[in-house]
């Protein structure tokens, strides 16, 4: 089983793609050959014959990968949970295609970064959730969380769901932290969450104007990730 990490979030829109791309850039700078994957993406753009996931493109470019079809095997137009989008668009999620793509990526790269969709219990297909995919891939989990009010509850629920399923959680990264004028919640939440879960907090990423997924801008993401995130702790996680 190849090494890698599965990046999940406490909710949709927490910035999993930014964290996944930042990790890819940081590991590439160490000379590693990094494979990236967004197994199923919704809210894609383009024609029905050629849907494009902006998240997958952002990861693909960050990793400088050579196999776009493997990076994003299942794509949907509607910005919904995959199972719901699949029903509306009359196109069932092909779980075997996802499995084959992941296995093929393992042949070509030293380390695989897989970005989930939404949170750990988002349904990918009927009776098949993001959690099922994590279990199949047998990867440790990196949780991406918001820094502000409400994140204690969301993060604890995510940790609880992961622990109940026996997943290895390598740590928590807080994303989109205010660059100035931190809120009291942003200041206190990391320690509170660590104290309540005993899960390592591996750092935080501030709001960055020069970083944007839709326009594929990375700005200083690599440098910020290297400076503020404990990359060695992420690499120290092993496959289950």
Q: At 213, which CATH number? A: 3.40.50.300
Task: Give me the number of domains the chain comprises.
Answer: 1
For residue 168, tell me if it sits in a domain: yes
Give CA–CA dist 99/175, Å, rounded.
29
For residue 32, tell me if it sits in a domain: yes
- Tens-digit pLDDT profile for residues 140-190: 999 999 999 999 999 999 999 999 999 999 999 999 998 888 899 999 999
For residue 46, tell me if it sits in a domain: yes
CB burial of 210-228 (b: ≥16 within 10 Å; e: otherwise) equals ebebeeeebeebbebbbeb
In DSSP terms, 6 is beta-bridged to 114, 141
Predicted local confidence at residue 239, as pLDDT: 44
Asked whether the predicted pLDDT for residue 240 surpasses 70, the reply is no
Predicted local confidence at residue 181, as pLDDT: 82
For residue 41, tell me if it sits in a domain: yes
Catalytic position from the list 38, 90, 107, 126 = 38
Single out the residue of 186, 171, 188 nearest to residue 230, CA to CA: 171
Predicted local confidence at residue 180, as pLDDT: 82
Length of the chain: 240
- Tens-digit pLDDT profile for residues 99-153: 999 999 999 999 999 999 999 999 999 999 999 999 999 999 999 999 999 999 9
For residue 95, tell me if it sits in a domain: yes
Full domain range(s) for residue 104: 3-235
Q: How confident is the model at residue 1 (pLDDT cuts 50, 70, 90)?
A: very low
For residue 240, tell me if it sits in a domain: no
Predicted local confidence at residue 238, as pLDDT: 52
Give CA–CA dist 134/162, Å, rounded.
10
Single out the residue of 112, 174, 178 nearest to residue 139, CA to CA: 112
Residue 46 CB: number of other CB atoms within 10 A? 11
> Three-class SS of residue 52?
strand
| 181 contacts: CB under 8 Å, gap ≥ 6 | none
Mean pLDDT of 40-47: 95
Give CA–CA dist 192/91, Å, rounded.
43
The tokens for 145 are: 């969380």
For residue 58, tell me if it sits in a domain: yes
The tokens for 78 are: 């509607």
Is residue 16 among the annotated active site residues? no
Give CA–CA dist 49/57, Å, rounded.
17
Q: With beta carbons less than 8 A apart as the criterion, state whether 106 and 64 touch.
A: no
- Tens-digit pLDDT profile for residues 69-85: 999 999 999 999 999 99
The DSSP code for 217 is: B
The tokens for 87 are: 């029903």
Average pLDDT, the chain: 95
């Amino acid at each position: 089983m190849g090494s890698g990490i599965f990046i999940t979030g406490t909710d949709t829109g927490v910035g999993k793609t930014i964290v996944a791309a930042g990790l890819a850039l940081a590991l590439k700078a160490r000379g590693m050959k990094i494979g990236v994957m967004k197994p199923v993406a919704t809210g894609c753009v383009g024609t029905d014959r050629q849907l494009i996931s902006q998240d997958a493109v952002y990861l693909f470019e960050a990793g400088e990968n050579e196999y776009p079809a493997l990076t994003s095997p299942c794509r949907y137009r509607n910005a919904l949970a995959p199972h719901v989008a699949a029903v509306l668009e009359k196109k069932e999620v092909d779980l075997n295609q996802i499995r084959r793509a992941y296995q093929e990526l393992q042949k070509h790269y030293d380390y695989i970064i897989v970005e989930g969709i939404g949170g750990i219990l988002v349904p990918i297909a009927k009776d098949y959730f993001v959690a099922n995919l994590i279990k199949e891939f047998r990867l440790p989990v990196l949780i991406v969380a918001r820094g502000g009010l409400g994140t204690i509850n969301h993060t604890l629920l995510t940790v609880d769901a992961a622990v109940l399923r026996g997943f290895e959680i390598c740590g928590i990264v807080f994303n989109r932290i205010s660059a100035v004028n931190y809120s009291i919640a942003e200041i206190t939440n990391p320690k509170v969450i660590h104290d309540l879960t005993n899960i390592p907090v591996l750092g935080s990423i501030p709001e960055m104007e020069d970083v944007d997924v839709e326009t594929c801008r990375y700005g200083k993401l690599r440098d910020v990730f290297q400076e503020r995130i404990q990359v060695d702790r992420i690499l120290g996680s092993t496959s289950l």
